[in-house]
Structures are given as C-alpha cells and as structure tokens.
Chains A and B, each alone.
Chain A
C-alpha cells in the first residue's frame, strides 16, 4: 500500500492523548487501506462528476459537488 506504516502511525499519534499508545501492525495496515479507499473514492467520484460535465480536467468544483455525500459515506 502507498501509505507507509510510519506515516499512518504518525497521523494516528497526532490525536492520541498518550504518546506511548501503541498500534498493532494489523491496525496500521487496516487504516492504511481505509485511507487508500477514501482517497480513491474521492478521486473517482470527482472524475465521474467531471466526465458528466464533459470536462477534460477535474477541478475543485467537481470535488465540492460530491463532497457532502462523500463525507457522509465515511
């Protein structure tokens, strides 16, 4: 997966109250997968919106259109 375990661990530790909190390798892999699914979903939904508008390039506007439902789906 493109998310390194160190990067995922660092992201999680941003929000932990206790820095010594440990996260198992499996949990890190699962979160890395979740992050990947989220980014791919956001990208494909934005692309679909750009294609529906016959646009050659996906801009922020296409993401904004799909954003409310994307955030409700995660």
Chain B
C-alpha cells in the first residue's frame, strides 16, 4: 500500500503538471484511476 501511495503521489504530480498546462481540472478519481492503471502496467 505504501508503494501504491508513492506511485499515486508521483502520478498525481505528473497529472497536475499536464492539467495545469492544459488549464483543465482532473477529478481525484481520474488521477486515482490513472495511477491504478499505471501500477498494473
């Protein structure tokens, strides 16, 4: 779970960076979903 949290945090930072660059908002659930997909990949 700690590893998942570290991946989730890293993915969150990346998503926020892209989202702010595109000036859109990502829901927390979307970030969590991208993190889960990334972890599984």
Contact = CB atoms under 8 A, between A and B. Distances in A.
A13 B25 CA distance: 34
Nearest to B16: A43
Contacts, number: 76
Interface in B2-41: 3, 6-7, 10-11, 13-15, 18-19, 22, 24-27, 29-30, 33-34, 37-39, 41
Interface residues of B, number: 23
- SS of B interface (majority): helix
Given A38-B38, A42-B37, A63 B30 contact: yes
Contacts of A74: 41
Interface of A: 2-4, 7, 10-11, 14, 35-36, 38-40, 42-44, 46-47, 50-51, 56-60, 62-63, 67, 70-71, 74
Contacts of B38: 35, 38-39, 42
Interface of B: 3, 6-7, 10-11, 13-15, 18-19, 22, 24-27, 29-30, 33-34, 37-39, 41
